[in-house]
Amino acid sequence: MREKKWWQNAVVYQIYPRSFQDSNGDGIGDLPGIIKRLDYLEELGIDAVWLSPVCRSPQDDNGYDISDYQDIDPMFGSLDDMEELIREARKRNIRIMMDLVLNHSSDEHRWFQEAKKSKDNPYHDYYVWRDGEEGVLPNDMGSVFGGPAWEWVPELGQYYFHQFSVKQPDLNWENPKVRREIYDMILWWMDKGAGGFRLDVIDQIAKEPDRKITNNGPRLHEFIRELSRETFQKGDLITVGEAWGADIDRAKLYSNPDGSEFSMVFQFEHMMLDQEPGKEKWDSCPLPFVKLKQNLAKWQTELHGCGWNSLFWNNHDLPRIVSRWGNDKEYRTESAKMLATILHGMQGTPYIYQGEELGMTNVRFDHIDQYQDIEIRNMYRERLAKGYEEKEIMESIYAKGRDNARTPMQWDDTAHAGFTTGTPWMQVNPNYREINAEAARKDPDSIFHYYRKLICLRKENPIFAEGDFILLLEEDENIFAYVRSLADRELLVVANFTEQEIICTLPEEWKDGEVLIHNYKDGGKSEVLRPYESMMIEREK
């Protein structure tokens, strides 16, 4: 295994800046707002903050359409604010990870504005173009956000390729000039003090649209190794690539211990298990619990010693986990702690998404107009046109919509949950009077303090970062249990994944072990696991 890196014991906190804290009353979260809340993050105990994009953008896709990689969007503040955030975070031993969107830019980026002027323009080949005639698409590839992946530019007689919004033209990584521009930009941010980077849809940069290849193109790892060599390897950074198409073998390349690519990878196999096979993410099925255990165990064992896992249940694109796989009503606290126990006991770097440490839940808005997300709005229109019932469409949005993660952070029980003094860009979840940071910090038995304890345990005990992983009760339909083992110590993690009482007899050798953490106030090692009960027990071998 590689020399131990700081990020192997670290816990990362993801902030969606638009929804975290507004400092100026315009209803939109901003960088000064994040600075204001750094003491809260320090109290939680995290080591790094991953910021969703804050660079200048027309905000067609919530900042994932960048028009200037070396400036801050005015809605979030200024470059000076960004530099202050990096400095103030460092004072609290927190590093700032930036979100790099390198697969595409905004159509308002100066590169694309130049590219559209002429086929002979030096920036034309910064993007992916195909000759053609209007109405006759180069092929039938579709955009992730609906409609074709090709957009006609009449003045050039060409189509440009966009995997996402029509306002997000794909960059041409085959062009070495594009790559050099990107590397210089990253080095510039490293000089500013950026502590790491998350690479958006990085597995799509080596696209070959003529062959209908978007992710995992032939030159993907060649490009990533060059990127890493020219930038990341020049600093002590944490880097994570978002790769929806990653399998074990690819993940071993992404997170190779030699540091030739990234620190780790975001893969999403476990998060797609409650999707009907062969259908869209909106078509849900019950979570196949045994498959979930097998999947997480596979990644634990297969990457052990030859790669590194990222551990997460939530992010800005996913619904709230306590609503998805827990119980966000009568057992919200117990199930949120249980899900945290399972995740934080594994090997890898855990990611906490803002509000996860409070047990924030999905939201159920009454009308489609209350939703802001481009993906939700497009799906709503498309499914109505296909004859779906509106009620059915809304239920899919309630379950899987990205805006579940994007409602404003719930700080206290004052107006708009203390997020803003103005009108929030998106409505706050109405349950903020019960679920908020102020109440959680005052309650020693809260989800917030449970996360604090989990974070401390990871930092104090090397078994979390270094131990082997053994899945127990693999076929059990109710209990998630595994053992971590290192030298002369063993750690047992056991959790009831249901709202029923489940008989679970601890093996004799564990009955005298030390309970490190337990999600019920009265502790426990009884023969019965209560609803969502979970614990970690350590013992000498």
> CA gyration radius for the chain?
23
Q: How far apart are CA 123 and CA 143, in angstroms?
A: 23
**Token duo for residue 359:** 């047990």
Backbone angles phi, psi at 204, to 5 degrees: -110, 5
Q: Which of 268, 430, 266, 248 is nearest to 348 (CA)?
A: 266
**Chain mean position to CA 232:** 20
Determine contact, residues 397/371, Cβ cutoff 8 Å: yes
Query: How would you classify the pairing of strands 196-199 and 238-242?
Result: parallel
Backbone angles phi, psi at 319, to 5 degrees: -65, 165
Q: Is 200 a catalytic residue?
A: yes
**Token duo for residue 431:** 């349950």
Could you tell me the sign of the dihedral formed by the alpha carbons of 372, 375, 378, 380, in that order?
negative
Nearest 5 degrees, angle CA 433-CA 436-CA 438? 110
Determine contact, residues 340/454, Cβ cutoff 8 Å: yes
Q: H-type helices in 462-522, by residue range?
A: 463-466
Q: Is 242 a catalytic residue?
A: yes
Output the CA torsion 530→275→241→83 (10° steps).
Answer: -70
Q: H-type helices in 78-207, by residue range?
A: 79-91, 110-115, 176-192
3-state secondary structure of 133: strand
Q: Which of 22, 107, 200, 328 is catalytic?
A: 200
User: What string of DSSP letters covers 289-321?
Assistant: HHHHHHHHHHHHHHHTTT--BEE-S--TTS--H
Q: Which of 492, 485, 482 is nearest to 463 (CA)?
A: 485
Question: CB-based contacts of 162: which residues, under 8 Å, 6+ apart?
Answer: 104, 143, 149, 150, 151, 168, 169, 170
Question: What helix, strand, coil percent values describe the chain, rounded to 5?
Answer: 35, 20, 45
Q: Which of 107, 203, 242, 334 is catalytic?
A: 242
- Catalytic machinery residues: 200, 242
